[in-house]
Each structure stands twice: as structure tokens, then as C-alpha cells.
Amino acid sequence: MTESTTEKLTATLIDRAAALDAADPLAHVRDRFLLPEGVVYLDGNSLGALPAAVPPAVEDAVHRQWGTDLIRSWNNNGWWEAPIRTGDAIGRLIGAAPGQVVAGDSTSVQLFNTLLAAARLRPGRRLLLTDPDHFPTDQYIADSVGRLLGLEVRRVPARDAAAVLAAEGADVAVAAYAPVDYRTGELYDTAALTAAAHTAGALTHWDLCHAAGAMPIGLDAIKADFAVGCGYKYLSGGPGAPAFAYVARRHQQGFDHPVTGWHGHAEPFAMSGTYAPAPGITRARVGTPPLLSLVALEAALTAYDGVDMESVRAKSLALTGFFQECADSLLDGLGFTMATPREAARRGSQVALRHPEAYPLVAALTARGVIGDMRAPDLLRFGFNALYLTYADVLHAVRELRDITSTGAHRATAYQQRPTVT
């Protein structure tokens, strides 16, 4: 591609980005985040940006609620109800009616509790299906549940799961999958897979970490059984934010989870030595939640006030589609291939590019204030949070990537040494 051609393409894309930003119905929501000057943040699929509502909420929780009110805050400041209250706020974003979502504990704890409980609801079935491309923790915990319950854990790609359910569904207890491939951003049909599992008499378990807050999920509408998700990606609850668990109302009476803590007891302050589960979603609580993190998450969720998830999804698709368009125009011939589907119905809220020098490219981009991440061996990942990203951000990121790659700037010694977190 000649320099003249590149300049013409870039000029056209600049005009496109400006027009898209001018017409963006969510542009005002960007002001609800504290974004560092000179940074294009495309890693919200790993850690969301800081919502402006969080610092004052945490300051109040530390200085007034903890510092002044002390232990009285469990009653006076709603600490005891926070896991259910925050769960309901998340529920509004994932299509769950009140009383079906609880926040607290880590994703791993929530995953273990709900997956094992789901399998217990289907005694006599010997198979647990999970995705070989699932996030590693999901696979580790599936294996652990399999060992504990004597189940065969079979790794079946999401695209093949419906066929396996049709052929061997009578043996399947749970199909445990994610709507979005955490590496490539490919989106799967949650409604179709849930229906296939139910036809076979099996249950579904969804990991929503890369979907919650980025798109409508409609858990109640698709008749989902169980789901978990983290609070620190698109929900922007902060590093290590509490995770959430969804237990469909019809399963709550029979919800028999392995980690039974006192916060899930019917009468926690009776201090009984025998566990008696609380009614409803409260039984899915475990122990004392990390209150400061929970306060941060609850405050972060106010960034969605007055925003419907259909609008979030529409902008997300427009952002990722524009990124793909920019990449096609400006990165042609530089060794990149598109790993993310181009069809909107098959695309989550991230785009992944393959390149043999993925890590140094991401490191060089970060040094220029364009923050994405990489996943081994060759994926550059870019996450798009529709609440705070602009189309100008998207174009800037691709232009910087083109400049780095075409000049070989990423081959500098400083970008060859990988830190612990990539």
C-alpha cells in the first residue's frame, strides 16, 4: 500500500470516526468514568476503567461507615443486605428478575459452588460437558467437580455441544460454557445451547465474565439455570471486585452447594452448629463479603443508570466493526489476521488479531498509551466498553499499531522481556 493511498484511507476513516462520535447516543456516559489523559483504554475486558462514582463511595465507606459507625454499619448502612442489593443491580443488566443474583466471593468460589450444585440436581447422569477453549479456571473447577462427584468431564467445543447433547443427552448432567470466547471474542448462541440442554434433560451453567455489562444476556428469557461472572471487567467494579452468581428461582429450593457458610444460613445469628439454608437466593451467600470492594462494585454499577443494554450492544458492535474496518484498511500486508468473527451475531465486545510478534506489539502500544493485552501464543486482544470508548479512540489505536509494525518499533529490546502479567 502506497503512502498516498494510506493517507487517503486515513482521512476517510478520520471523517467516519468524527461522524460516528457526533451521532453517538451514549457519548455522555463517558463522563461517568475517570479516564487518564492521553490513554486509549482497550483492556476493559480484563479490568474496567474507574467509574467516577467509586472514589467517593469508597471514601465514605472507609471514613464514615467503618471509621465512625464501626460495626453498627452492618445495620445502619446496609452492609448486611449489600450482596443481595448489588446482585439485583447486576441482575438488571443480565436479564434476571430480582432475587436470583447474589454478589460476593471470587469467581472461582461462585463457579465451584454453582457448578457442583447444578450437577447434584441431576443425579444418575455421568457426563459434565465443558469447552476445551474455556478459561483455564473453568476447566480446572469442572475437573474438580468431576472428581468429587464421580463424573466424566468431557471437553466439547461450544459449536459441537448441541450435537453431543442430541446424541448422548440422557447421560449429561450439566453443560458448562461461556457466551464469549475469552481469547477470540467469538459469541455463541446461549439460547440455542440452553434449549438443547433442556431438551436432553440437562442443565446449563454459563460463565458471563466476558459478557456481563457488554450485551443483553436475558438469563430469564432463555430459561438459564445457573451463571456466574466477575465484577471487574465490563462492570468496572475494580481489581478483585466480587463475583456474582445467578441461580434461577426454580432451582433455589433444591440448591445444595458445597461451601455452606454462615451468611447463607436461615438464622445466621442463632449460631447453630447445623446448617439450615436460608430461603431464596440468600442461601447462595457464603461468608462475610469484602465490603469495601462490594461498595466499589455497587457504586460502579451506577454508570449504567438510564442506559439500556440494547444501546450498549449496538454501540459495542459498531465499535468492534469499525475496529475491524480500520484494521482491514491500515494493517493490510503487515502480518495480521483477524481471529474474531466479522458477523455481528457471532462477535462479542472484543476483537483479537493474530500476529507472530503479539507480545512486543502490545508492549509497544502500551508504551504509546494504547492499552490492550495479549494471550499466548499470538493473540492481540482489544476490549471495547461502549460506555467510555469513542470511535476516534478506535482509529487512533489502529494507526499506532500500523506505525509500530511498519517501523519495527516493537523490536526494541525494552519490549522483548515479558512481565508476569501480560
Catalytic residues: 135, 207, 232-233, 381
DSSP string, 338-405: E-S-SSGGGB-SEEEEE-TTHHHHHHHHHHTTEE-EEETTTEEEEE--TTT--HHHHHHHHHHHHHHH
| 3-state secondary structure at position 283 | helix
**Cβ atoms 43, 366 nearer than 8 A:** no
Q: Please report which confidence band the pLDDT of residue 7 belongs to, taking 50, 70 and 90 as the band edges.
A: confident
What tens digit of pLDDT does each residue of 302-311 get? 999 999 999 9
pLDDT at 4 over 80: no
Neighbours of 248 (CB within 10 A): 20
Q: What is the mean predicted confidence (pLDDT) over 200-215?
A: 98
- Which pTM does this prediction carry? 0.97
pLDDT at 236 over 80: yes
DSSP string, 246-271: EE-HHHHTT---S---GGGBSSGGG-
The amino acid present at 412, given as its one-letter code, is A
- How many alpha carbons fall within 13 Å on the CB side of residue 318? 22
Cis status of the peptide bond prior to 279, with omega within 30 of 0: no
DSSP 95: T
| 3-state secondary structure at position 76 | helix
Measured CA to CA, the distance from residue 422 to residue 406 in angstroms comes to 23
Measured CA to CA, the distance from residue 167 to residue 310 in angstroms comes to 35
Q: Please report which confidence band the pLDDT of residue 1 belongs to, taking 50, 70 and 90 as the band edges.
A: low
What tens digit of pLDDT does each residue of 321-370 get? 999 999 999 999 999 999 999 999 999 999 999 999 999 999 999 999 99
**Cβ atoms 214, 386 nearer than 8 A:** yes
